[in-house]
Amino acid sequence: MAKKAQSKPQQGKAKPKGASPLWNSVGFGLKRHSSPHGQVTAVSMMKDEGSYVIEWVAHHLAIGFTDLVVYTNDCSDGTDDMLIRLEELGLAHHRRNVIPEGLKPQPSALNYAQDEPVVQNSDWVMVFDADEFVSIRHGDGTLDGLITAAKAEGANGIVVTWRIFGSGGVVEWSRAPVTEQYLMAAPTTWNKGWGVKTLFTFDADYWKLGIHRPKMKTRHIKTDFPDRVKWLNGSGAVMEDYFKFRGWRSITRTVGYDWVQLNHYAVKSVDSYAIRKLRGNVNNKKDKYNSDYWSLQDRNEVRDDTMLRYSARRYEIIETLLTDPVLNRLHFAALNRVEARLAEIKQTEDYRELVAGLAVASAVPISQIVAKPPQARDKEKIAALMSEVEQQRSAKAKADRKAEGPRAPVEAVPMGSYIPGLPDVTADFEGNWVENHGLLLPADFRVFPRAALTLIEAGKFERGLARRLPAVLAKGATVLEIGAAVGFLGLHLAKVRPDLRVVMAEDNRGLRLTMQRIMARNGMEFGDRLAVRDGVLDWAGLVAEVVPQVLLLADPRLTPDALLGLLPGLPLAGQILLYGRLLEAHHQALGPVEELLIKLGYSPGMGFDPNIARGFVLR
Contact call for residues 495 and 438 (beta carbons, < 8 A): yes
**Measured CA distances, 233 to 146, 202, 263, 502, 504 (Å):** 12, 17, 15, 43, 38
Is residue 282 very low, low, confident or very high in pLDDT (cuts 50, 70, 90)?
very low
What pLDDT score does 292 carry?
Answer: 83
Say which amino acid occupies 511: L
Q: How far is the C-alpha of 560 from the C-alpha of 553, rounded, in Å? A: 12
What pLDDT score does 410 carry?
Answer: 44
To the nearest 10 degrees (0 to 180), the angle between helices 53-63 and 325-345 is 130
Strands annotated E in 91-230 = 93-96, 124-127, 132-136, 157-164, 184-185, 196-201, 207-208, 215-216
What pLDDT score does 10 carry?
Answer: 37
Q: Which of 36, 74, 33 is nearest to 57 (CA)?
A: 33
What pLDDT score does 364 carry?
Answer: 82
Query: Mean pLDDT throughout 528-555?
Result: 89
pLDDT tens, position by position, 431-448: 889 999 999 999 998 999
Contact call for residues 463 and 492 (beta carbons, < 8 A): no
To the nearest 10 degrees (0 to 180), the angle between helices 463-472 and 488-496 is 40
Contact call for residues 288 and 1 (beta carbons, < 8 A): no
Q: How far is the C-alpha of 545 from the C-alpha of 264, rounded, in Å? A: 51
Query: Mean pLDDT throughout 391-412?
Result: 64
**Measured CA distances, 80 to 46, 71, 93, 454 (Å):** 8, 8, 11, 47
Contact call for residues 87 and 95 (beta carbons, < 8 A): no
How do strand 132-136 and strand 215-216 relate by DSSP bridges?
unpaired
Element of type H or E holding 290: none
Res. 406: pLDDT tops 80 = no
Residue 343: partners with Cβ closer than 8 Å, 6 or more residues away: none
pLDDT tens, position by position, 165-194: 999 999 999 999 999 999 999 988 888 899
Res. 13: pLDDT tops 80 = no
**Measured CA distances, 14 to 21, 164, 317, 318, 320 (Å):** 13, 37, 19, 22, 20
Q: Which residue has the higher pLDDT, 119 or 372?
A: 119
Q: Provide the percentage of residues in the chain whose pLDDT is more than 90.
A: 72
Domains in the chain (CATH in brackets) are 40-368 (no CATH), 433-618 (3.40.50.150)
Contact call for residues 156 and 251 (beta carbons, < 8 A): no
What pLDDT score does 8 carry?
Answer: 35
Residue 122: partners with Cβ closer than 8 Å, 6 or more residues away: 17, 38, 39, 40, 41, 67, 202
pLDDT averaged over the chain? 89
Query: Mean pLDDT throughout 480-495?
Result: 96
- Buried/exposed code over 399-428 (b: 16+ C-beta within 10 A; e: otherwise): eeeeeeeeeeeeeeebeebbbeeebebeee
Is residue 412 very low, low, confident or very high in pLDDT (cuts 50, 70, 90)?
low
Q: Provide the percentage of residues in the chain whose pLDDT is more than 70.
A: 89
Contact call for residues 127 and 157 (beta carbons, < 8 A): no
What pLDDT score does 372 carry?
Answer: 60
Is residue 275 very low, low, confident or very high in pLDDT (cuts 50, 70, 90)?
confident
How do strand 184-185 and strand 302-303 relate by DSSP bridges?
antiparallel
Contact call for residues 195 and 371 (beta carbons, < 8 A): no
Q: State residue 71 phi and psi, 5-degree precision.
A: -100, 135
What pLDDT score does 491 carry?
Answer: 96
